[in-house]
Amino acid sequence: MSTLIEMLEEMAKKESKVRAVLKRSLAFDPGAYPPAFPYVEPRFDDDDGKWKRTVYYLVAGLWAQHFREARGAEQSLPAACSSHFVANDKSPSIEKRFIALLDADEDQLAHRLRQMVALLKDYAINFDSLLKDLLSWNHLDKFVQIRWAKAFYRTEFMTDREPETFNAKEN
């Protein structure tokens, strides 16, 4: 079965209003904008929970907000955040936004993601990866947030280090 993003891309090729409707849905709580229902509801089974529905509508809206006809190589959201951070001279405001995103709970997540995706308008984001990560966002171990932090800081850390630091000999 195709992914949500593949399905939306196919629908958008056939019906020009798909992206506009999904983009407009971001002004509402995820899953609360009835005109978006035809584009996302077919992805659910009867036993799918509220969080899955919330995440699917959120990611569909973010995809529509961020849509680019000609995309470069897609990267994960934390990798795009890291690239943006480094490209902007390690701006403290970008890092603070990223940390706030990592700390977001269910009620804050949609707002913080909308802001972050808007900030990353020049980066191709892998929305399938984002969807998969967000489905596990509420896990007690916070493994998604930890993985995102590693992806963000790994790039920043590696660009600051001298090569000999990694090969230091023990005396």
Asked whether the predicted pLDDT for residue 168 surpasses 90, the reply is no
Six-digit token string for 65: 């907000």
Q: What pTM value is reported for the model? A: 0.87
Q: Please give the single-letter amino acid code of residue 11.
A: M
> And the tokens for 30?
């995820």
User: What tokens appear for 106 in the block?
Assistant: 């269910």
Task: Give exposure, 8-31, as e/b (b: 16+ Cβ within 10 Å).
Answer: bbeebeeeeebbebbbbbbeeebb
Assess whether pLDDT exceeds 50 at residue 171: no
Q: Where are the domains of the chain?
A: 4-166
Q: Which CATH superfamily is domain 4-166 in?
A: CRISPR-associated protein Cse2 (1.10.520.40)
CA separation for the pair 65, 6 (Å, rounded): 16
- What is the SS3 assignment for 75? strand
- Name the strand (E) or helix (H) holding 165: helix 163-166
Tens digits of residue pLDDT in 18-63: 999 999 999 999 999 999 999 999 999 888 999 999 999 999 999 9
Write the DSSP symbol of residue 125. Answer: B
Spatial separation of the C-alpha atoms in residues 55 and 61, rounded to whole Å: 10
